[in-house]
Amino acid sequence: MSDDPRLSLRLHFDSGLTFGRGKADLLQFIDEEGSISAAGRRMKMSYRRAWSLVEEMNGHFDAPLVDSSRGGAKGGGAQLTARGRAVLADYRALEALLRDQGAEALARLRAGQRSVPV
């Protein structure tokens, strides 16, 4: 296990949406799996919770992030829209920027830590 602190970027929008690693991962897994339920299973969450998060994200942007179709004889599916891909890419870019540009500051913070909390 590394001494490096974990970075977690969480964005709080005026609309009330909080967007962080969990929602970004959900979008990524929907993109990879082609399914909200499969993405939810990968994250160890119920379909209902995954669907609720997708609905929340879809409602807070100017266009839906996820397009889904109901199951049937051939089954349903889900895919990221162009807007969803852009939101995910922008979030991942911000994560990389924070990780890369913040490396020196993180090293200083880590160096100032006690080995055992008081």
Confirm whether 73 is domain-assigned. Answer: yes
Confirm whether 47 is domain-assigned. Answer: yes
Q: What is the pLDDT along the chain (118 residues), one digit of tens a residue?
A: 456 677 889 999 999 999 999 999 999 999 999 999 999 999 999 999 999 999 999 999 999 999 997 665 556 699 999 999 999 999 999 999 998 998 888 888 888 887 777 6
Confirm whether 67 is domain-assigned. Answer: yes
Distance CA 2, CA 67 (A): 38
Number of domains in the chain: 1
98: domain CATH number is 1.10.10.10
HSE-CB at 37 with a 13 A cutoff on CA atoms is 6
Confirm whether 7 is domain-assigned. Answer: no
Please state whether beta strands 11-12 and 18-19 pair in parallel, antiparallel, or not at all (unpaired). Answer: antiparallel
- Count the neighbouring beta carbons within 10 Å of the beta carbon of residue 78: 21
The parent domain of residue 86 ranges over: 17-111
Distance CA 35, CA 51 (A): 10
pLDDT at position 112 is 82
Confirm whether 1 is domain-assigned. Answer: no
